[in-house]
A and B are shown apart, each in its own frame.
Chain A
Amino acid sequence: MGGLSPAEWEVLLLSLKVSGVAIAAVLPLAFALAWMLARWRFPGKVLLDAVVHLPLVLPPVVTGWLLLLTFGTNAPLGHFLVRTVGITFLFRWTGAALAAAVMALPLMVRAMRLSLETVDRRLESAARTLGAGPLRTFLTVTLPLATPGIMAALVLGLARSVGEFGATITFASNIPGETQTLPLAIYSALQLPGSEWQVARLAGLSVLLSVGALMLSEWLARRSGHGKGGHVL
């Protein structure tokens, strides 16, 4: 079945760019939220937890609409971002990345929170008695022990963002070369009569991508698993 056509390459690379940027940008935020939810006690924690999880339970089209309301050019925040940083989201690949990030966030927070909650805090206090301050304790004990969970979060987030459809098409629209990621391209192809072969090729591509991501995560988990082996999911 030969190589990919230029159009398919474009879709694939755009998908990778959108998901990669989305996950890289949202990772620190997701970790901070996971940390707060796992370790802190503060008023409004239940509310924060609910807000973080909204994209998981809302219909994606509603999330996309809420993004429109928040980041559209006429919305205060969208307007502000255009004027200060010069970033627009509407009809741009950055918008697809934002939608993908928002949709991936709850899954990533959940996975990381879970792994942070399973880190044995008695080991952290042992590190403290051995002379390590809080930051060193975090870097040498907490973070390494939470790494498999962080890897799991990355994979889940990537899988979710590569597959993102509803919020993206609502918020960033379906523009070839700009916001048309793999699922949107498949959707568009499905609308054309006689394009079964094209649909099959794109679908195969997304299967390959998912399997590749899974294998990569297993490999990373094995490398960072400190001989404990094991699965990240």
Chain B
Amino acid sequence: MSFDIAVTLHRGNSRMTYEFTTGPGLTALFGPSGAGKTSLLDAVAGLVRPVEGHIAVSGTVLFDRAEGINLKPEKRRCGYAFQDLRLFPHRTVRDNLLYGWKLVRPEERWLSVDLALDFLGIGHLLDRMPSTLSGGEAQRVAIGRALLSAPRFLLMDEPLASVDANRREEILSLIERIRDELELPILYVSHDRAEVERLAHRIIPVEPPSSQA
């Protein structure tokens, strides 16, 4: 089992409950914007604390309310590609890419920097500042930064949101390669049916929460 999730999240004055388990590969959370999909990714990453339930990935328990387990974000080994990218604006592309890489023990790294640069096609961007990158370039750097931190699973939040229409295909096929070549469980959030049907091994529909407390 890859993702084993049963949580209740507080969001404003509404509650959302997610309950699903997945096999390996790419699982898409599919639903309209505002349905709270990002909140679930944040909970898996440890940035949001669920009110109830448990989260385990590939057998490692990240959160369990009943057991009192709540791993800190830096201990979860997740590769989170944020919808808003969150590249460090004061650091070069190189320093962004190496930020997480430097924090992992060498024996736990499973991707070399050269391979990542080649894979993502971003070797020529290393000395640039994030503010000078195009949407597609920045997205590839953000994905590269996540991959180089040697994650055990990936969280991808609307990776096409910041990409021009004519660069979508480039990012889509990159995600397909990540899905097929890296053997990482991936939790993928999107509101686009065609995108989800193309990429996902399984689709979990997410409805906007009813606002009863």
Binding site for B on A (CB under 8 A): 120, 122-123, 125-133, 136, 140-141, 144-145, 226-228
Chain B residues within an 8 Å CB radius of A123:
86, 88-89
Alpha-carbon distance between A131 and B147 when the two chains are bound, in angstroms: 12
Q: Which residue of B lies closest to A122 (CB)?
A: B86
- A130 x B145 contact (CB < 8 A): yes
| A-B residue pairs, 4 tightest by C-beta | A130-B100, A131-B103, A128-B73, A126-B86
A132-B74 in contact given A126-B80, A127-B99 (Cβ < 8 Å)? yes
Chain B residues within an 8 Å CB radius of A144:
90
Interface centre among B77, B82, B90, B146 (most CB of A within 10 A): B90
Q: Which residue of B lies closest to A129 (CB)?
A: B80
Interface on chain A toward B: helix, strand, loop, or mixed SS? helix
Alpha-carbon distance between A144 and B89 when the two chains are bound, in angstroms: 10
Chain B residues within an 8 Å CB radius of A131:
74, 77, 100, 103-104, 149
Interface range on chain B: under 10, 10 to 19, 20 to 34, or 35 or more? Answer: 20 to 34
Interface centre among B77, B89, B91 (most CB of A within 10 A): B89
Alpha-carbon distance between A136 and B100 when the two chains are bound, in angstroms: 12
A133-B82 in contact given A123-B88, A141-B88 (Cβ < 8 Å)? no
Binding site for A on B (CB under 8 A): 45-47, 72-74, 76-80, 82, 84, 86, 88-91, 99-100, 103-104, 129, 131, 145-146, 149
Q: Which residue of A lies closest to B129 (CB)?
A: A227
- B47 x A129 contact (CB < 8 A): yes
A129-B78 in contact given A122-B86, A226-B90 (Cβ < 8 Å)? yes
- A128 x B149 contact (CB < 8 A): no
Chain A residues within an 8 Å CB radius of B76:
129
7 A/B residue pairs, CB under 8 Å, sorted by A = A123-B89, A125-B47, A128-B47, A130-B149, A136-B103, A141-B88, A145-B90
CB distance from B143 to the nearest CB of A (A): 13
